[in-house]
Amino acid sequence: MKREKNDNDVTLTRRAALKLAAAGTAAGLLGLSSSDALGDPARAAVSKTVSGPGHVVKVHMPGMRAGAFPDPRASRIMVDRAVSTLARETDASRAWSRFISPTDRVGIKVNCLGTKMASSMVEVVYAVADAVRDAGVPDSNILILDMFASNMMGGRYTQATNPNKMRVLAHKDHRYHKSWIHAGPARVKLSSLFLWTTAIINVPPIKDHDLAGVTCTMKNMTFGVCEKPHVNHGTINESIAHLYALDEIRSRVKLNIIDGSAVLYNGGPKYNRAAHAPHECIYATEDPVAMDAVAFELIELLRAENGLRTLADVRRPPRYLELAQDMGLGITNRKMIHLQTVDLPRLTGPSA
């Protein structure tokens, strides 16, 4: 039997909880002061959404990634269930219509920097693409994109250029916006492929990052859609928050579907076999800040369980989370995040 529960915390083992408490953990970084309330201006500043700020859905299915890669059938079931739960709809097609329409030009933004093992898994991404198609969006209006063709091929994606079919393209091979756009300390030239879209579904994995601490929803939609992202590495936390606040980015992102089939908790963003753990989950949310806060907590949990220091201790805490909350982009205060978990039974029968 499946069951649903509302969590305010990722489940911790007693040993991990003690380690996190002893180390000071991420609590001071994830939350604000105890005087924070639901009437916080940052929460009120978040634009109206289908599910509300701070709402994150987590769907877990045992055996979803029993082998090297996710099971395609499990991926589609989990993706649809996550979106339906987020939209509070029993029918998947109605749920998807809450976020996209048949007239949208839909971009599915992946992250392929982690090779075939720690990138956005093809099985999850194609489950999303199939759902978008089933929602009435024609193939000619569906685009899977990332920055480098070599990374995408390493992540098991095959480039597809036919304009009458679903395309799979690297934006590095196409034009960028002619002039620099400035956002806080950051400056970028946005991808023309990205700007072609009217709706983005953001499908990142959950990974540790050597500068920002966490790379999940927000970094994928900022540093991942522009030319020469390295020019903003010196101010990476401030740049992530300010770039996401750009209307060109924020207005396009309709949904975040996170590939939580596995988690890279150290040595990221590239693949590190020694710190790559199965997780067998799919997340869905409209709040990128809340999702990154959940990802941060999960990474810290795995680091503690494996004897690693906290991200604060190694001088790369994800400071962009509180900056983003202060700018009204979402919720990072863990006490205000509604993490809704759906546990599904193990998939049975032969794999597709």
The hierarchical CATH code for the domain 3-8+40-343 is 3.40.50.11440
**Average pLDDT of the residues in 144-148:** 98
Place of tokens 């489950």: 127
Q: What is the mean pLDDT of the chain?
A: 88
**Dist. CA 206–CA 111, nearest whole Å:** 10
Give which of 142, 130, 131, 134 is closest to 104, Cα–Cα.
142
For residue 315, pLDDT over 60 is answered with yes
Q: Cβ contacts of residue 171 below 8 Å, gap of 6+?
A: 145, 146, 147, 191, 192, 193, 194, 225
Using one digit for the tens of pLDDT, what is the confidence trace for 194-209?
Answer: 999 999 999 999 999 9
For residue 27, pLDDT over 60 is answered with no
**Dist. CA 101–CA 105, nearest whole Å:** 9
pLDDT attached to residue 235? 98
Structure token digits, residue 27 = 């609590």
